[in-house]
Chains A and B, each alone.
Chain A
């Protein structure tokens, strides 16, 4: 272990589960006390490692949901029924359990909050998690950056952080959210009721002269579709940051 420290590699550390929040029927947030946590940037992730009694280990990567300013580290996990790690983290883990993790990891898909260009955040499903870290960070530092979130979910019950997003939106400090529900809409639904398309991005997004920064996170086909539309609309590829989620075993 001493050798890895000398090389500047990330060490595995233990986080204590302080709180569990069931966000939707399939998604839960784990709020962790990590005594040796060195801090993170909004958009980074952690690797979580589970070890079975026979020594078998499985590792998965989860986006950090909490703002850098928060005392505890939050991750939000979607349960994949045939996954090796997520069914433990969503359903079996209990308050007081210890979880092995390392991080923060990543640096490409991050927003530091020191840039006044308007933000367009586009999320599909649990792709909202790293974007939520940015939204919470924006609120924590009282950033005036005009920010719009376009968030696609299957149904109203599948919207993660719904109440908190509504509260941020109601604060009137330049953050707005537009929801689209792709599979099922409640009676009287006034949001979008289709997959994210170019017309929606033109309505919700920023005009090109405002020089926005865009972060897109979700399943691969959604991310590539959205990024393709934004490039077709004339935005420079360097202003579009993408992160793909995939069925890699959960």
Chain B
């Protein structure tokens, strides 16, 4: 079977557990504003690639990398450069 890059694409639901570890709350209903195109999406809707050494999150509208998350050696490394803002319930 040939695996296409598009087949490896998942969505924010797939990292709900990982985000819960980091933020200590449910994050798939949070809304993120893309730093590239300013569109707003629920975190459950964003594109997620988990076949890299870390997790790469991209904007479903413009493809901008929004988040990169690496977990290892008892530490998290979180790059949120591509997200302008995250809004979620208190």
Contact = CB atoms under 8 A, between A and B. Distances in A.
A243 interface: yes
Contacts of A241: 44
A247 B7 contact: yes
B10 A108 contact: no
B14 A61 contact: yes
Interface in B1-57: 3, 6-14, 16-17, 20-21, 24-26, 28-29, 42-45, 50-51
Contacts, number: 78
B14 A108 contact: no
Which one of A103, A108, A242, A244 has the greatest number of beta carbons of chain B within 10 Å?
A: A108
B45 A108 contact: yes
Which of A59, A103, A107, A245 has most B Cβ within 10 Å? Answer: A107
Contacts of B17: 10, 47, 59, 61, 102-103, 105
Contact of B14 (A9, A107, A244): A244
B27 to A, nearest CB: 8
Interface residues of B, number: 25
A61 B29 CA distance: 18
B28 A108 contact: yes
B10 A248 contact: yes
A244 B11 contact: yes
Contacts of B26: 105-107
Nearest to A46: B17
B51 A248 contact: yes
A163 interface: no
Nearest to B15: A61
A109 B44 CA distance: 8
A191 interface: no
Contact of A108 (B24, B25, B29): B29
Contact of B20 (A105, A108, A219): A105
Shortest 4 CB-CB contacts between residues of A and residues of B: A108-B44, A108-B28, A106-B16, A107-B26
Given A102-B17, A243-B11, A246-B7, 16 more contacts: A8-B24, A10-B17, A47-B17, A61-B16, A105-B20, A106-B26, A107-B28, A108-B28, A108-B45, A220-B6, A220-B7, A220-B8, A220-B10, A246-B9, A246-B50, A248-B50
24 contacts: A8-B24, A9-B20, A9-B24, A59-B17, A103-B17, A105-B26, A107-B16, A107-B29, A107-B44, A109-B13, A109-B28, A220-B6, A220-B7, A221-B6, A221-B7, A241-B44, A242-B11, A243-B11, A244-B11, A246-B8, A246-B9, A246-B50, A247-B7, A247-B8
